Structure 1
Amino acid sequence: MMRCIIVDDEPLVRELLEDNVSRVPFLELVKSCKTALEALNTLQQESIDLIFLDIQMPRLSGLQLLQSLQHPPLVIMVSAYEKYAVEGFNLQVADYLLKPFPFDRFLKACNRAAELFRAKRAASLTEPVKNNDFFVSVDYSLVKIVTADINYIESSKDYIKIYLASAAKPVITRMSLRTIEAKLPAGAFIRTHRSFLVAIAKITAIKRDLVCIGATEIPVSETFREDLNRVLRSH
């Protein structure tokens, strides 16, 4: 399942895209955004795999939004103007839909994005785990986080709680779960829930809707269950 958002300032286009997304079984619509700024806020709060992105929007264009993202998800650009296609593909978008487009063309773009998504996931699982220790800001100071010491991370609104094996209390810092996920070594952590990121090597037991790290139980949502099962089967 690919979690996606729609970003377009035209209500009719958003409605069409929403309807199209609902007809594709491997897509889950997280949010339909009117502006790029609304999309940016969603990207900071949610785990998103694919963006259907309009180009010409007020204040912040689709291209400007894409250029501002350090680790962008897959993008299918949606535009009434063919002239932006080259720039879009230079930014490595999955596909470029020229308005108006039929459903079969939309589906073709989605299938292409799904292939890229699967390839990206497979590469992350086979990539060697590296030592990606990093610093976070805590009460006007910088605290070093040793990646191997992390048990799991919990998102709470604009903050995250980093639970360490060596500490009784979590480290709390202002950051999105998506931002810290980009700092962690690929293949070492797995989302079990929109609010939880778990170190795979620290999982000691699995229950129906939970994974356990010792006595600590962490929820598993239906959205991430398939990814979790696939990763655990490979370990």
Structure 2
Amino acid sequence: MMRCLIVDDEPLVRELLEDNLNQVPFLKLVNSCRSAMEALTILRQEQIDLLFLDIQMPRLSGLQLLQSLDHPPLVIIVSAYEKYAVEGFNLQVADYLLKPFTFDRFLKATNRAAELFRLKQAASPSAIAKSHDFFVSVDYSLVKIVVEDINYIESDKDYVRIYLVSTSKPVVTRLSLRSIEAKLPAGAFIRTHRSFLVAIAKITTIKRDFVCIGATEIPVSETFRDKIYRILK
């Protein structure tokens, strides 16, 4: 169940969103407000998983509200203006609903947000159990790999290189990418290329041919591109 907040200064749009939201079983309406200032107060008081956010509002715009949050919830922008779409997606919103929108389009947006919410929960440190940590053989020794410490994994013929947050030097072990993928928690990693597995929680930027972890670019092949964009954008 995703806890939702509606922020829009148009009463008819709020009513439409509330009606649509009440028809979706995995959504729960926490509150509905007419300004970004009201939303700030609610966000401080309530756990909000998904924000339906208008752009043009008095005093504080939707984009200004989003930029002011250190840890924003998932966001579906609801706007009459297509020109804000690029800026919205640069802020990694889940989707962009252009007014007026149909219930089918609303449902598509919320399904996308629900999938992102599931992946976000699966990739959170609290969701990755210690039991997923594992050992690999390195130079006749067993080295413990802590799943939360993994940035990405690269396959190189009969070996894999495991790149970690805690060290600049990768751990190299004789394993296939498929076998190491089986050791990892479901939903926490994504295949971007036949030779690369990436920790979803560590991805900071998505480009056409790369995903980035900080300044490190990891290739995205055409085979996996559509799935990656569908899940991560």
The CA distance in 2 between the partners of 1:128 and 1:76, in whole Å, is 28
1:118 match: secondary structure = helix
Note if 1:40 corresponds to 2:40: yes
The CA distance in 2 between the partners of 1:112 and 1:67, in whole Å, is 22
How many Å apart are 1:128 and its aligned residue?
A: 3.6
Gaps of 5+ in 1: 130-185, 187-235
Note if 1:81 corresponds to 2:81: yes
The CA distance in 1 between the partners of 2:85 and 2:63, in whole Å, is 11
The CA distance in 1 between the partners of 2:21 and 2:5, in whole Å, is 10
How many Å apart are 1:64 and its aligned residue?
A: 0.1
1:51 match: secondary structure = strand
Note if 1:21 corresponds to 2:18: no
1:32 match: secondary structure = strand
When the two structures are aligned, how many residues end up with a matched partner? 130
The percent of aligned pairs where both chains have the same amino acid is 81
Q: Which amino acid aligns with 2:77?
A: M
Query: Which residue is 2:208 aligned to?
Result: none
The CA distance in 2 between the partners of 1:11 and 1:73, in whole Å, is 23
How many Å apart are 1:30 and its aligned residue?
A: 0.2
Q: Given the two structures, how large is their TM-score scaled by the length of structure 1?
A: 0.54
1:24 match: secondary structure = coil
The CA distance in 1 between the partners of 2:44 and 2:119, in whole Å, is 24
Q: Write out per-residue CA displacement over residues 153-172 of structure 1, whole angstroms, 9 at most, x where no aligned residue.
A: xxxxxxxxxxxxxxxxxxxx
Gaps of 5+ in 2: 129-146, 150-200, 202-233
The CA distance in 2 between the partners of 1:112 and 1:123, in whole Å, is 17
How many Å apart are 1:80 and its aligned residue?
A: 0.2
2:88 match: secondary structure = helix
Q: Given the two structures, how large is their TM-score scaled by the length of structure 2?
A: 0.55
The CA distance in 2 between the partners of 1:27 and 1:40, in whole Å, is 21
Query: Which residue is 1:9 aligned to?
Result: 9
Runs of 4+ in 1 over 4 A off after TM superposition: none
CA RMSD of aligned residues (A): 1.4
